[in-house]
Amino acid sequence: MNCKQATRLLSERQERTLSRKEQMALKIHIMVCRGCRNFGDQMTALRSFSKSYSKARASTDHNAGDKNEP
Amino acid sequence: MNYAPTSAQQGPDNPTSASELLADSQFLQELRRQMVKFARLQLQDDDQAEDVVQEALAGAMKNVGSFARKSALKTWVFSILKYKIVDALRYRQRIIVTSELADDEQREQQFMDSLFKSNGHWHSAERPSSWNGPQGGVQSEHFWRVFDACLNGLPEKQARVFMMREFVELESEEICEQLALTTSNLHVILYRARMRLRECLENNWFDVPREGP
């Protein structure tokens, strides 16, 4: 498995359960590849950013809005 | 922050406060502005964004009596807006024209080649870094501006699919059905969108040295 294939699976596992074979190959790759390990963490981070996006936007914009116009 | 609308722990507080809020023109304007922004990002069409926001607000006005807290009201108004956006997107599926596809493919190929060597391993300069550094957990207003800019930089189809999946939180099957995509199309589009987003965030936020704590 190379990094291109590993990153593809790291994205895809957010939509589907990987097969045992895929999971195993991915696990081995991740163990030796820091870049892909970071990529995996980043996929999780992207999801959580997206989840908090509208809430964070609403609250920061609102606070910012309070300062505008009397 | 503590926005979770669990009515159990709230009890029945003042039932008029939400309707007062919607009558407060400054609050309403601000809310409307945030909604339009959110809708524009996803629809990439100003008129249509205004329309869905109008509809969502009208819906909110009708049922406002049931919402006591400001944060709950906001969460709720945004969830109505999400459904309106999905409705609008549904009418647009035909816009994904096949003639664009050849260009798309070439562009994606180039992007991937810029990240990976021919053996499929990262170019050393492109290897993802850890996001746990000082820029890590900081989801400041500045961070969200960068995030917005990165979202805006995605090719339209990728942005739309990504937002349906991650913002509106639709399941894969629903998105495939609505946009007439196969499952593997969907996986590829999401992969590309995430690839670009993470690249953009890393270059413009996480790897940018900043002064101060």
Whether A6 shows a pLDDT value over 60: the answer reads: yes
Res. B127 pLDDT band, cuts 50 70 90: very high
| Contact state of B191 with A11 under an 8 Å Cβ cutoff | yes
* Beta-carbon separation of A54 and B38 below 8 A: yes
Of A48 and B135, more confident: A48
pLDDT digits (tens, 9 = 90+) for B24-44: 778 888 888 888 988 887 787
| Residue B75 confidence (pLDDT) | 75
B-proximal residues of A, 8-67, CB under 8 Å: 8, 11-12, 14-16, 34-36, 38-39, 41-43, 45-47, 49-62, 64-65
**Who wins on pLDDT, B186 or B21?**
B186
Least CB–CB distance from A8: residue in B26, B33, B191: B191
Whether B100 has a pLDDT exceeding 70, the answer reads no
Candidates B33, B121, B147; nearest CB to A49: B147
Contacts of A22 in chain B (CB under 8 A): none
Residue A68 has pLDDT above 50, yes or no: no
pLDDT of residue B99: 44
SS (H, E, C) chain B: CCCCCCHHHHCCCCCCHHHHHHHCHHHHHHHHHHHHHHHHHHHCCHHHHHHHHHHHHHHHHHCHHHCCCHHHHHHHHHHHHHHHHHHHHHCCHHHCCHHHHHHHHHHHHHHHHHHECCCCCECHHHCCCCCCCCCCCCCCHHHHHHHHHHHHCCCHHHHHHHHHHHCCCCCHHHHHHHHCCCHHHHHHHHHHHHHHHHHHHHHHHHCCCCCCC
Chain segment B56-69, per-residue pLDDT in tens: 888 877 776 665 56
Per-residue burial over B133-160, b if 16 or more Cβ lie within 10 Å, else e, is eebeeeeeeebbebbeebbeebbebbbb
pLDDT for position A12: 97
Please tell me the predicted confidence (pLDDT) of residue A31: 95
Of A51, A57, A65, the CB nearest to B144: A57
Interchain CB contacts (distance < 8 Å): A and B: 105
Q: Is the pLDDT of residue B183 over 80?
A: yes
ipTM (interface predicted TM): 0.84
- Among the partner residues B3, B129, B194, nearest to A11 by beta-carbon distance: B194
pLDDT at B161 over 50: yes
Residue contact A57–B37, C-beta within 8 A: yes
Residue of chain A nearest B144, judged by CA positions: A57
Which residues in B lie closer than 8 A to residue A54 (C-beta atoms)? 38, 78, 167
Residue of A nearest to B164 (CA): A50
User: What's residue B138's pLDDT?
Assistant: 66
Given a cut of 80, is residue B208 above it in pLDDT? no
Mean pLDDT for the stretch of residues A29-52:
94
Cβ–Cβ gap A12/B191 under 8 Å: yes
Q: What is the pLDDT of residue A53?
A: 77
Specify the pLDDT at position A56.
Answer: 62
pLDDT average, residue stretch B200-212: 78
Q: Please indicate whether residue B175 or residue A26 has the higher confidence score (pLDDT).
A: A26
What confidence tier does B195 reach under pLDDT thresholds 50, 70, 90? very high
What is the pLDDT, as a whole number, of residue B59?
A: 80
Contact list, B197 vs chain A (CB under 8 Å) = 46
